[in-house]
Amino acid sequence: MSVENTKYIFVTGGVTSSLGKGILAASLAKLLQLRGYRVTIQKFDPYINIDPGTLNPYEHGECYVTKDGAETDLDLGHYERFLNVPTSQANNVTTGRIYETVIRRERNGEYGGKTVQVIPHITNEIIRRFTLLNEEEGTPYDIILTEIGGTVGDIESLPYIEALRQFRYDYGPEHCLVIHLTLVPYLGATGELKTKPTQHSVKMLLTSGVQPDILVCRTENHSLPTDVRKKVAKFCNVTQEAVIENPNAPTIYDVPFMLSKERLDQVVLNQLSLPLKEEPDLSYWKSFLSRLKNPVDSITIGLIGKYVELHDAYLSIAESLGICGAENELDLHIKWIHSEDLTQENVYRMLKDLDGIIVAPGFGMRGIEGKILAVKYAREEAVPFLGICLGMQTAMIEFGKNVLKLEGVNSSEFDPDTPHPVIDIMEEQKQVSQMGGTMRLGEYECVIKRNSLVHQAYQNNRIHERHRHRYEFNGKYQKEYEAHGMVFSGTNPMSNLVEIIELKDHPFFVGTQFHPEYSCTVENPHPLFLAFINAIYQNMLLQREAEGVRAS
Ligand code: GLN
């Protein structure tokens, strides 16, 4: 096991869920990366699903897809957006995957007749995976951060905490650090910050034999006064400088700055006996944040989807829009629109104030009619439009229905007997019977047509983008679509699958079979979102000018 030169940081959560372990891990990793360390982050999720690919987005939000085609937890999206380095399947482990490995070994007779148990077999497999990222990569990492999902005290987290205890015991505190994220609530009635939940949470960890080294204390909007820090330090057995305040942040991208002010990176490096190296150069992030917070204008984009009650279901799209809006110094307002709420009667009223429209990815029939109405509106009213995956497929159905007048046109996902399956199951998907991990997943090459809108956006004729789908545009209809003005501007060079479509004579009408939102980072804003936002803004300026002329 290659632990000698690598240091391990574990992030556990206490008191309650949703305190932001993922953002804490991503922000700390960013600070360490900017100090010159080679860092990565992995997430261990204590649920039994092999991966979140089969989960309804209402459960844990979006399923994030890595380059190598792993369906992973949405926190990996934060890791990539913050660190600007790709993650992979090995960066996301679930209890299901651990048990699957152990049970497969047991079936192969690899345990030599022993009783297979949580301790040591499951915990050993967890420990093996703590260091696995190093074995996959050529150069070992300097630091691997591991976020343990869930909250300390949960029954399903216990094997992870036990594995962590053993790991730390074996490799020593100078190689392995535990950061515990807790809540310090403010009681309005008495005007006090209360440390008891943090004390209890640390006690809970201690009952499993793990003493945290650093406590990051989330507060609503309060800073931690010295006496509170002293109290937490004393009752929880950590040094005072290792009590880090972490109040609510205006945006998630403020968190690295807030933690840097609290010297979290320095405390971490000192405890791991690592040199501080250079001061983290946050200048790019500073200018990004300043653009994000000081927009010169604002635009409203309607996001049409069927899981819009839970914004996390479209997390990467929302973050990509925010990042690329900031690049254009625009405040990006998202109007979340439930596709099932859209009807023939209300579509104009519901969409009329939008400057741009995104039809979101998705699975299944629910809400499709509303999505088709939104595409029709965007196409006819010349509203900038971006259709992602199912959004692109819906655009093709709409075009077939309203422009080509193909009777009964549909995707065979929604109507297996449609006379015009313009969206059809991919050849290699026909034999697939298992649900999990069997779609067309991950990065594929796409060749872009010259003189197209997307060629202008990417400034490139070969791109790589990530996928997650079973259905595709049916090539049999391509000629007919082209004859009516549809441009097929991106194609997979190996399989000929249609990757990008666009319309001429429209300010911006683009559909992508891939998901651009999975590869947009703070330091690498995505060219397609940039072009979309830019087109929206130019369109808006033109409209304003026209309105000005009319008014005068
Ligand atoms: N349901 C569609 C398919 O499987 C679209 C998937 C998606 O939007 N990610 O092809």
CB 440, CB 426: distance < 8 Å: yes
* Pocket flag, ligand 1, residue 470 (CB < 6 Å): yes
Half-sphere exposure (Cβ direction) of 262: Cα atoms closer than 13 Å = 29
Give the residue, by CA position, lying nearest to ligand 1 atom 5. 390
- Both tokens of 424, joined, read 């059809």
Q: Where are the beta strands (DSSP E) in 296-355?
A: 297-305, 330-338
Question: What is the pLDDT at residue 528?
Answer: 98
Q: Name the residue with tokens 């635009």.
A: 299
* Torsion over CA: 59, 61, 62, 63 (sign): negative
Q: Which of 389, 469, 506, 526 is catalytic?
A: 389
Pairing assessment for the beta strands 486-491 and 440-448 based on DSSP bridges: antiparallel
Neighbours of 492 (CB within 10 A): 18
Distance 171 CA to ligand 1 centre (A): 45
Q: Residue 280 pLDDT > 60, yes or no?
A: yes
Ligand 1 and 514: CB distance under 6 A: no
Distance of CA 392 to the CA centre of its chain: 20
Confidence check: pLDDT of 550 > 80: no
Using CA atoms, how far residue 161 sits from 126, 140, 145, 177, in Å, is: 10, 24, 15, 13
**Active-site residue 464, yes or no?**
no
Taking the C-alpha atoms of residue 67 and residue 71, their distance in angstroms, rounded to an integer, is 10
State residue 137's pLDDT score: 59
SS (H, E, C) 166-229: HHHHHHCCCCEEEEEEEECCEECCCCEECCHHHHHHHHHHHHCCCCCCEEEEEECCCCCCHHHH
Confirm whether 515 is a catalytic residue. Answer: yes
- For ligand 1, say whether the CB of 488 is within 6 Å of any of its atoms: no
Tell me the CA–centroid distance for residue 388 and ligand 1, in Å: 9
Q: How far is the CA of 304 from the centre of ligand 1 (A)?
A: 15
Determine the residue type at 249. Answer: A
Instruction: Identify the pLDDT of residue 59.
Output: 86
- The pair of three-digit structure tokens given for residue 366, joined into one six-digit string: 């629910």
Q: Measured at the alpha carbon of residue 133, what is the angle toward residues 129 and 134, in degrees to the nearest 5?
A: 110
- In this structure, which residue's CA is closest to atom 6 in ligand 1? 469
Other C-beta atoms lying within 10 Å of the C-beta of residue 450: 8
Of the candidates 299, 372, 284, the one whose C-alpha atom is nearest the C-alpha of residue 332 is: 299
Reported as a single tens digit per residue, the pLDDT across 328-353 is: 999 999 999 999 999 999 999 999 99
- Confidence band (pLDDT; 50, 70, 90) for 456? very high
Q: CB–CB of 318/311 below 8 Å?
A: yes
User: Ligand 1 center to residue 348 CA distance, Å?
Assistant: 26
Q: What is the pLDDT of residue 1?
A: 44
Q: What angle do CA 64, 421, 461 make, to 5 degrees?
A: 55
Burial class, 451, CB count within 10 angstroms (exposed 0-12 / middle 13-18 / buried 19+): exposed
* Strand ranges inside 328-384, DSSP E: 330-338, 356-359
Confidence of residue 2 (pLDDT cuts 50, 70, 90): very low
- C-beta pairs of 87-92 under 8 Å, 24+ apart in sequence: 87/40, 87/41, 87/42, 88/136, 90/42, 90/129, 90/132, 90/133, 90/136, 91/40, 91/41, 91/42, 91/43, 91/66, 91/133, 92/42, 92/43, 92/45, 92/51
Buried b (16+ CB within 10 A) or exposed e, 202-229: bebbeebebebbbbbbbbeebebeeebb
Point out the ligand 1 atom lying closest to the alpha carbon of residue 391: 8
Q: What's the CA gap between 240 and 223, in Å, rounded?
A: 15
Tokens representing 426 are 């991919």
Q: What is the pLDDT of residues 118-175, one digit of tens each?
A: 999 999 999 999 999 887 757 789 999 999 999 999 999 999 999 999 999 999 989 9
Q: What is the per-residue pLDDT across 69-124, written as a single tens digit (0 to 9) for each?
A: 999 999 999 999 999 999 999 999 999 999 999 999 999 999 999 999 999 999 99
Cβ–Cβ under 8 Å, residues 477 and 418: no
Report how far residue 206's alpha carbon sits from residue 215's, in angstroms, rounded to the nearest whole number: 14
For position 430, what pLDDT does the model report? Answer: 81
390 in contact with ligand 1, CB cutoff 6 A: yes
Does the beta carbon of 413 lie inside 6 Å of ligand 1?
yes
Distance 311 CA to ligand 1 centre (A): 19
CB of 469 sitting under 6 A from ligand 1: yes
* Helix boundaries (H) for 403-503: 453-458, 478-483
Q: What are phi and psi of 126, to 5 degrees?
A: -60, -45
Instruction: State the pLDDT at residue 60.
Output: 84
